[in-house]
Amino acid sequence: MMNIEVAINLVNKLYFEAKGQPINSIQTNLLRGVWFNQSYEEIADNCYCSMSNIKMIGSTFWTELSQILGERVTKKTARAILENYYQERKTGKVRKSLLNHQQKDIFPSINETQIEPTFPKLDPWFSSEILWRMTERLDTCLRTLTSTSSNNLSPLISLSEKLKLLYCLNGQNYSLNRTYLDIIDICRHIIHDLTIQFPHQTIILSLFNEPILSEYDLTVNTLMDKKLIDNILKYLLANALQYSHPNSTITLDINIEDQQAIFTVIDQGIGIPNDELEQVFQPFYCGSNACKKSGDGLGLTIVEKSVRWHQGEISVSSQIEKGSIFTVVLPVV
């Protein structure tokens, strides 16, 4: 019986022979979605991109597969056609392809152990298909355990979700979707959620260095990607709260000028050693003065990749036992 891993490796091999490159991560997710009867909406959520984008990529993907296999492939028929093709190759049958000059003897004989995966060479670590599979299995196991155990496994589930997010933000795996957003409203919602997690600390939201009181009815519309700005603000503030002293205050200041949004997060925390500032955005980084604190070391990596996708800039300054200042500058048009 053909499983999803064999199917992915098979299509990778076919694509490499026909087009000179294996399938990308979104095409891989399309195959996974087909295998498990997922809707385009569910596949889009897994890829952190819009459903319309997934449908467009899917349409091209099925057309290309049709050309390679010599048979019309759609979302509904892809699994059955690949399983039939796999069985034909195992029994030595030869199918005429629309690309038969490129298909000659791709699989003269085939079995599961002979299919070797071929993956694109993207940036290291988070581009790894093996890592993607690992996090999917980890996520499934953890959710099963959570439903049957009283132990708190939420940190491990969070780690799995962050690894998936980083995989999608790496390389060309994310689809940027700029829309008009009320940035004040977004900040208030993020602050509200974090205040529940960190009840002994205070977050002050300010505009042009002037505190915004809760009763103020302010609207500041900007053209941004909502998922990215959520990532940036949520993880910057969570990092500030995590490494600040109890009963301390964190400030989030917003400044809009020259078609740019400037977000500044100021904390009163333990600070970052000066010679380690260049490492703070590396995955799993833990400051020499912070290793006793809980955390997975991925929040600032997500921030940095989200800023990069938005064609923005991020900088940090810090003093030991006085706190840190993170500044993010994003284009808003």
Residue 122 tokens read as 């993207």
What secondary structure letter does DSSP report for 173? -
- The count of other CB atoms within 10 Å of the CB of residue 93 is 10
Residue 108: the pLDDT is 37
Chain centroid, CA 162 distance in Å: 7
Return the domain boundaries, the chain: 4-120, 122-175, 178-331
DSSP code string of 123-157: STTTT-HHHHHHHHHHHHHHHHHHHH--S--HHHH
Chain centroid, CA 128 distance in Å: 13
| Phi/psi at 211 (5° precision) | -55, 140
Among candidates 318, 192, 165, which has minimal Cα distance to 252? 192
Residue 118: the pLDDT is 37
| Phi/psi at 323 (5° precision) | 125, 180
* Rounded distance between C-alpha atoms, residue 313 and residue 73, angstroms: 43
8 Å CB contact between 39 and 76: no
280-to-30, 164, 168, 236, 249 alpha-carbon distances in Å:
34, 20, 20, 12, 22
64-to-60, 78, 182, 230 alpha-carbon distances in Å:
6, 12, 41, 35
Instruction: Give the largest CA-CA distance in the chain.
Output: 74
Residue 282: the pLDDT is 84
Length of the chain: 333
8 Å CB contact between 83 and 2: yes
Quickly tell me which residue has 């900007």 as its tokens: 222
Where does the chain have alpha helices with state H? Answer: 4-19, 25-35, 40-47, 51-69, 78-90, 100-103, 129-148, 154-169, 183-197, 226-242, 299-309
Residue 250: the pLDDT is 96
The CATH superfamily assigned to 178-331 is: Histidine kinase-like ATPase, C-terminal domain (3.30.565.10)
8 Å CB contact between 27 and 155: no
Tens of each residue's pLDDT in the chain, 333 residues: 678 888 888 888 888 788 777 787 788 888 888 888 999 888 887 776 677 778 878 888 898 898 888 889 999 999 999 988 888 877 765 554 444 434 433 333 434 434 343 333 345 555 455 566 556 656 666 666 666 555 566 767 777 788 888 878 876 667 788 899 999 999 999 999 999 989 999 999 999 888 887 777 888 888 899 999 999 999 999 999 998 988 999 999 999 988 899 999 999 999 998 888 888 888 877 777 765 566 677 899 999 999 998 889 999 999 998 999 999 999 986
Among candidates 117, 130, 115, 55, which has minimal Cα distance to 85? 115
